[in-house]
Amino acid sequence: MLSRDLPVPEGWLRLRQQAMGLGGEVVRWLDQKSRDLASLGPASRKARDFAAFGDGSVLCWPWDSLVNPQGMQIGRGTLIAPHAALSTGWEMDQPGLADDVLVIGDRCLIGRGSSIVAHESIVIGDDVWTGHHVHITDMNHGHADPDIPISQQFVDPAPVRIGAGSWLGHGVVVLPGVTIGRHVVVGANSVVNRDLPDHSVCVGAPARPVD
């Protein structure tokens, strides 16, 4: 009989289960504490890199990317969930970048895994909440020249505005040049490529008012 086929004493099994349970609790506690410590608040040294970082706001760790925070203003009481990607400008450490390329208002919630790419101007009003994996950008790619890869065909940026009190569902994409009004609901997985009026419920690709 091989050693691995020998019966394991019941007491040893109980001890191993207890050790795994305790070890798991310790690992989870350490992981949560490390995430809390690595997250950014207004008192964090890294928060000084932002143009503004309001009281009570948190950028949760880990984030996927943070490019040119000197062009970002974050209001008060705003939560940006883990795995966010925030970017302003055209290149890392861009000189002379304006301090309001990306503005996120007070009491906002940006969902897990969301990305906001602001080359020139994205403004998100107060009390805007999003679901997970929302993408907002003020620039897109062109396709007019068939001999040039689409990745190398850029179109001019166009500002994006999202009105106060709006809700963007899971997986929403907001494209350049769009103004979303106040208190607008945008349904999950919608693509916003046109203006949406105040106090509307909008769904689809492209998103359009349904209520």
As annotated, the active-site residues are 141
Q: Return the number of other C-beta atoms located less than 10 Å from residue 34's C-beta.
A: 11
Q: Is 122 left (phi over 0), alpha (psi -120 to 50) or beta?
A: beta
List residues bridging with 192 in a β-sheet: 174
Phi-psi region of 163 (alpha: psi -120 to 50; beta: other; left: phi over 0): beta
Parallel, antiparallel, or unpaired for β 201-203 and 208-209?
antiparallel
Q: Is the separation of the CB atoms in 57 and 42 below 8 Å?
A: yes
Peptide bond into 62 cis (omega under 30): yes
CB 68 within 8 A of CB 93: yes
Q: Are 128 and 162 in contact (CB under 8 A)?
A: yes
Residue among 35, 39, 105, 103 nearest 69 (CA) = 103
DSSP 167-203: EE-TT-EE-TT-EE-TT-EE-TT-EE-S-B-TT-EEE
Amino acid letter for position 140? N
**Reduced to 3 states, what is the DSSP secondary structure of residue 208?**
strand
